[in-house]
C-alpha cells in the first residue's frame, strides 16, 4: 500500500504509455517516395458552328475529340473546361435542349474531368421556355445570357 501512495500511476497505465511513447519515435521515420505531380486546368472552346475541338461523330455516335481524349488520359490535367465562344443567339428552345442532350451531357458523362465554364447567349426568352435544361446548364458550371443580368444590375 505504501507503494501505491508513492507512485501515482498504476502499472496497467504506465506500460501502454511507454509503448506509445516508443512507437511515436518511429512513426515520423516513414517516408513516401511518391512525387507530387502538379495539376493544371485546360479549356476546350467550341462555337455553335464548330465543335471539332470538343467532339466528332462516327456512325451517328458522338465521341470526345482526340484532343479531349488526350486531356482525359493526362494525369497532370485536373479539369477540362468546356467553354462556349462567339454568339449562340441563333439557338432557340429546341436547340438548347438538343445541345444539352446530344453534346454537352455526353461529354460530361464521358469523364468526371469535364466541367462547364463560360456563358451561352441564347436568343432572348428562349432559355426560360426550357427551365429544366436551363437549370442543368447552370448546375454544370455555365451561365445563360449573363449580359442581360449585368445590364439589369446597372439600371
Contact 116, 137 (CB under 8 A): yes
Residue that is written with C-alpha cell 449573363 in the block: 146
- Provide the pLDDT confidence category of residue 67 given band limits of 50, 70 and 90: very high
**Cα–Cα distance, 51 to 45 (Å, whole number):** 8
**Cα–Cα distance, 119 to 143 (Å, whole number):** 5
pLDDT at 147: 79
Contact 134, 144 (CB under 8 A): yes
* Assigned C-alpha cell, 42: 485546360
Asked if the model's pLDDT at residue 104 lies above 70, the reply is yes
DSSP H stretches of helix in 1-155: 2-6, 11-27, 66-73, 93-98, 105-110, 131-139, 146-154
pLDDT at 21: 67
- Provide the pLDDT confidence category of residue 143 given band limits of 50, 70 and 90: very high
Q: Which of these, 125, 126, 113, 122, lies nearest to 141 by C-alpha position?
A: 113
| Mean pLDDT (the chain, rounded) | 85
Average pLDDT over residues 38-52: 93
**Cα–Cα distance, 56 to 33 (Å, whole number):** 41
Average pLDDT over residues 72-94: 95
- Provide the pLDDT confidence category of residue 98 given band limits of 50, 70 and 90: very high
Amino acid at each position: 500500500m505504501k507503494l501505491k501512495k508513492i507512485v501515482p500511476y498504476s502499472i496497467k497505465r504506465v506500460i501502454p504509455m511507454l509503448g506509445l511513447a516508443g512507437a511515436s519515435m518511429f512513426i515520423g521515420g516513414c517516408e513516401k517516395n511518391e512525387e507530387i505531380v502538379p495539376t493544371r486546368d485546360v479549356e476546350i472552346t467550341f462555337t455553335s458552328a464548330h465543335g471539332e475541338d470538343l467532339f466528332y461523330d462516327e456512325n451517328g455516335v458522338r465521341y470526345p475529340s482526340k484532343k479531349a481524349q488526350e486531356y482525359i488520359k493526362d494525369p497532370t490535367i485536373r479539369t477540362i473546361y468546356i467553354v462556349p465562344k462567339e454568339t449562340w443567339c441563333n439557338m432557340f428552345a429546341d436547340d438548347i435542349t438538343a445541345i444539352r442532350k446530344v453534346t454537352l451531357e455526353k461529354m460530361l458523362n464521358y469523364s468526371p474531368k469535364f466541367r462547364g465554364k463560360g456563358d451561352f447567349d441564347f436568343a432572348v426568352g428562349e432559355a426560360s421556355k426550357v427551365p429544366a435544361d436551363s437549370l442543368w446548364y447552370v448546375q454544370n458550371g455555365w451561365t445563360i445570357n449573363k449580359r442581360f443580368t449585368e445590364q439589369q444590375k446597372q439600371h
